[in-house]
Amino acid sequence: MSADRGQEEKRCQGMAAAPGIARGPVHVFSIENDDVVRYHVDSAHIPDEIARFESGLIQTRAQILEMQQQIAEAIGAKDAGIFDAHLLVVEDQTLIDEVLRRLETEHCNVEYAFQEVANRYVESLSKIDDPYLRERALDIQDVSRRVIRNLQGKTPRPFLSIEEPHILIAHNLTPSDTATMNREYVRGFALDLGSQTSHTAIMARSLGIPAVVGLRNATEILETGVPALIDGYHGLLIIHPSEQTLREYEELEREKGALAARLTKLRETKSTTRDGRHVVLSANIELPDEIDSVLANGAEGVGLYRTEFLYLNQPTLPSEEEQFEIYRSVAQRLAPDPLIIRTLDLGGDKISENIESGDELNPFLGWRAIRFCLENIHIFKAQLRAILRASVGANIKIMFPMISGLDEVRRGCEVLEECKQELRCEGRGFDDGLEIGIMIEVPTAAIMADRLAREVDFFSIGTNDLIQYAIAIDRTNERVAHLYEPSHPSVVRLLKMVADAAHANNIWVGVCGEMAGEVLFTPLLLGLGMDELSASATIVPRVKSAVQALTSAECRQLLDEVLELDTPAAILERCTAMAQRHYPELIG
């Protein structure tokens, strides 16, 4: 693509949803809604409408499963799991029952009844002040559009079958749109709406399609055919890019390609600083099939296994036996590297339909994690027994989440001891010496870390929640999310307090929050004395490269300087300067 002569370059800032650079003419796309006409249905024909509805749901489910299989074969089962949410919509008994009630009471055609019910769900979710739940409204829209076309006897609409390279501009896209777009011709896409946590963004990252979201009005100001460039690293859509801009981005592409090739070669190397200090680099996982990525990226085991995902979107609670088989399988694949299993952390934004939690005004500060487990001993014990049984011949460690004080630690350990005694009586084996740790996420736990360290074998700092609670910031609230600052002086002091307390009591300390994967903060975390960093598997090579470029001495010097600074901006500037000096290619 060459620059448009005589046209002034214009830059639109959005959010980076999927990394990469794409160039080409834009195609502005708008979804054509299928018209649904209401008509009267006699009582005698209501059974026919119900049969048509059942057939439409079955057909839709089959289409979703087929699409899920195609994605699994192309990019893996984990990414195909995104469509589990779509399957739940066509299997949602509450939604189905409401459609059936409308058929009986309003005597209307089923596609109209279904559209009305689905639209009400979408409208309700769209009003919730939570980006994640608002994105789930898009899932319902996606499925309802497919159901209605099936009810109308129409074939699934092929998504944007343009057979020439282009950049797609749309108000919003569904995961189905993203999964079925022709990747040979769609170079990248930019959306008015969307967030970095949306299923569409996740799908774009998995498919390797550069994407920018949150542009607000791109579909209104652009016309099809205009030359553009997408910068998926920095969230930029550049219209009429100049020759200079095109040259700069060609050079950036060459640099990124070379960096990716170099990082791939780090798989078998150790995360050791230039002066010989080894820092354990682990991976965070949610699902068993992510172990492939853990191994491929050279992580030294799993530093955080989020087990609550075994409990979500399931018709029943997982049994002890089911959990045992899963934990054992994961641990065996990792051996001899460790698997650190976090006990159930339901609550907050992770709610299971099998557990009655009631309405809470602030669920993030409510009945969740260890608090929930200690009041649901039968659920807690089933998990602890499964973990203990899986520990035979494996390197499994266990940690309790959201600890706020000594009583919770001691009670959790008491329940664990009860499980051990039960297994002894049953003649079942387990590793009696498996390490027990706690998550440091609540400020009270950080403040009294010196006392907590006497009770456990290790600390793992969940920086996401610790920062959120320490600064009183809801990081999902768009109005205040910009105040969520890992470089806040108080956060640095809390981290130092935890690390110092751990080492004074001869236990190790790690970081498993997002901060562990941000290479800007790698020097600071090393300076604080963190023994382990655990991040998403795909980020591990970047962190490893950063560690290998540093020395312990200069990281400790950075910490001394940072502790004299008073603002988040000043601390971030100092950390950025050090990262820029040692590995600019990782932060460019």
Of the listed ranges 13-17, 90-94, 397-401, the least confidently predicted one is 90-94
The DSSP string of 234-249 is TTEEEES--HHHHHHH
Question: In sequence order, which ranges of 152-269 are alpha helices (DSSP H)?
Answer: 175-180, 199-207, 218-221, 243-264
Give kind and range of the element (H or E) at residue 131.
Answer: helix 131-151
pLDDT at 87 over 50: yes
Please report the domains of the chain, with CATH numbers, ordered by start residue.
10-32+160-243 (3.50.30.10), 43-151 (1.10.274.10), 262-432+512-587 (3.20.20.60)
pLDDT in tens, 371-390: 889 998 999 999 999 999 99
Catalytic site residue 108? no
The answer, yes or no, to whether residue 367 has pLDDT greater than 80, is: no
The closest alpha carbon to 209, from 182, 228, 246, belongs to 182
Residues 199, 419, 575, 582: which is the catalytic one? 199
Nearest one of 192, 201, 188 to 17, comparing CA atoms? 201
Closest CA to 345 of 417, 296, 286: 286
pLDDT greater than 60 at residue 580: yes
Residue 559 in this model has a pLDDT that exceeds 60: yes
Q: Greater confidence, 343 or 198?
A: 343
Which one has a higher pLDDT value, 63 or 413? 413
Place of tokens 């039968």: 378
199 is annotated as an active-site residue:
yes
Q: pLDDT band at residue 239, thresholds of 50, 70 and 90?
A: very high
- Whether the pLDDT of residue 349 is over 50: the answer is no
Higher-pLDDT residue of 160, 508? 508
Decide: pTM greater than 0.75. no
Mean pLDDT of the 568-572 span: 96
Strand partners, 230: 22, 237
pLDDT above 70: residue 74: no
Residue 493: Cβ within 10 Å count = 14
pLDDT for the residue 537: 85
Q: Of 512, 555, 575, 582, which residue is the catalytic one?
A: 512
The span from the CA of 526 to the CA of 507, in Å, is 16
In this structure, are strands 211-213 and 15-18 parallel, antiparallel, or unpaired?
A: antiparallel
- Separation CA 405–CA 211 (nearest Å): 43
> Which has more pLDDT, 167 or 137?
167
How far from 522 is each of 133, 279, 371, 540, 545, CA to CA, in Å? 32, 11, 32, 12, 10
Tell me the pLDDT band of 312, cut-offs 50, 70 and 90: low
Q: Report the pLDDT averaged over residues 236-241.
A: 96
Q: How confident is the model at residue 524 (pLDDT cuts 50, 70, 90)?
A: very high
Q: What integer is the mean pLDDT of 67-76? A: 68
- Residue/partner pairs of 1-6 with CB below 8 Å, 24 or more apart: 1/25, 1/227, 1/229, 1/241, 1/246, 2/227, 2/243, 2/246, 3/227, 3/240, 3/241, 3/242, 3/243, 3/245, 3/246, 4/227, 4/240
The token pair that represents 552 in the structure block: 């312990």
- pLDDT (tens digit, 9 = 90+) per residue, 450-492? 999 999 999 999 998 899 899 987 755 556 666 779 999 999 9
